[in-house]
Amino acid sequence: MSKIVNKTPEKQAVSIGLAILLASVTALAPLGIDTYLPAITQMATELDTSVQRVQTSISIFFIGLALGLFFGGALSDRMGRKPMLIIGLSGFMLSSLALVFIEEVSFLLPLRFFQALFGGLATVNSPAIVRDRYTGKDSARMFALTGFIMTCAPLIAPAIGSLILSFFPWQVIFVFLTLYALVMILVVSFYLEESCVPDKSRDLKHLFSSYQLVIKNTKALPYVLLTACATAVMFIFLTNASFAYMQLFDVSKELFPVLFASNLLVMMALNRLSSYCLRWFSQSQLLLAGCVLQLLAVTAFVIANVIGLSLSMMVPLMMLSIGALGLITPNTMSLYMQCFSSAAGSASALIGIFNFGLGAIMGTVSSLLIHDHLLPMAICMWVMAAVAMSMACLQMFRR
């Protein structure tokens, strides 16, 4: 297994600079998804296809991201964090550049897959680097700080997309992603220090043996299922947000990013609250509180769909359903990563695979079920929130 570099008191201190860097790398995924959401209708028209076909690229992005995390986790433990970051960022940059020149939807889908695949190779390293350097509540604070900064990406991404569309064609959105990846390559190359000693003793045949250790860890697996289900609530919304707001409720492309950002503002606020409340409450208690909040909000969303959903009802309920991840995600990640003293890259990859894999499946299922109302979407979200709540209760009881 990979050997963690010895920690010094300076490295153990929660570093805002490192948090910004890791959050910026992890932001590849939300930027890759959210910047082009306002352009979906325009892309469908220019590529001579349906909105649903273009929306399929969101689920394909999730699948590519999950595969990138799977391969990236094991390769990160063997080759080191920094080399995998540079490889992933370079592939993401080239795929984004290729997307600028597409003229048919048949090219959009595979290129989005490869864009996400390389993005996964890069983003899997961020939680692993935190695990390399921090433990205990310092780990939870670092995950919370990283998550708080990273939330800015999906917060501003649709606004960036809308701003670009106001002056330029949709292709410039992918120019922006290309330049973003290029900047990150330069920053990582010159400023990031390697945080683990890679284990090159194992040949490629046994490269993925570390996943066996992760999967056999029965203490950690409930956290995997918990965070995957809680995050799937957000992915279901992401997949259907453009249809729900812009088509069903006739929201303008200028208002759409504002409504979208409102969810993430709540997530940011609860994220900072979580970090502050660690002085008095345990990570498990804060995690359970987040799951309770999410389940209550999604239950109300189901009821609202039954009695007659309006935009004024949907917006605050989505704010609470998705915002609850500000309590759930950092505490789940901290508790989960504490279960592993080695193979942090593979552990980080596994939880990401489940997150994006389940998100892709549930996003696709909910999109196929939706026709002229959002009740199927609400039911899918409720099932995911209920499973997450069950896992939180189970882990609280066990602890």
pLDDT in tens, 151-209: 566 667 777 888 888 888 888 999 999 999 999 999 888 887 766 666 555 555 556 66
Residue 120: predicted pLDDT: 85
Contact 388, 229 (CB under 8 A): yes
Provide the 10 A C-beta neighbour count for residue 138.
15
Q: Mean pLDDT throughout 223-243?
A: 85
Cα-to-chain-centroid distance, residue 156: 15
Q: Residue 308 is part of which domain span?
A: 14-192+210-398
Residue 123 within any structural domain of the chain: yes
Angle, helices 125-133 vs 105-123, to 10°: value is: 10
Residue range 275-315, pLDDT digits in tens? 777 788 777 888 888 899 999 999 999 999 888 888 888 88
Residue 198 within any structural domain of the chain: no
Residue 8 within any structural domain of the chain: no
Residue 340 within any structural domain of the chain: yes
The whole-angstrom separation of Cα 387 and Cα 93 is 37
Residue 216 within any structural domain of the chain: yes
In this predicted structure, the answer to whether residue 9 has a pLDDT above a threshold of 50 is no
Model confidence at 4, pLDDT cuts 50, 70, 90, reads very low
Residue 235 within any structural domain of the chain: yes
The angle formed by the CA atoms of residues 304, 311 and 155, to the nearest 5 degrees, is 115
Look at the chain and report how many structural domains it folds into: 1
Residue 2 within any structural domain of the chain: no
What 8-state DSSP symbol labels residue 194?
A: P
Residue 182 within any structural domain of the chain: yes
Residue 251: which residues within 8 A CB-CB, separation 6 or more? 245, 259, 311
What 8-state DSSP symbol labels residue 199?
A: -
Highest mean pLDDT, choosing among 27-36, 200-209, 386-395: 386-395
pTM: 0.68
Q: What's 387's domain CATH number?
A: 1.20.1250.20
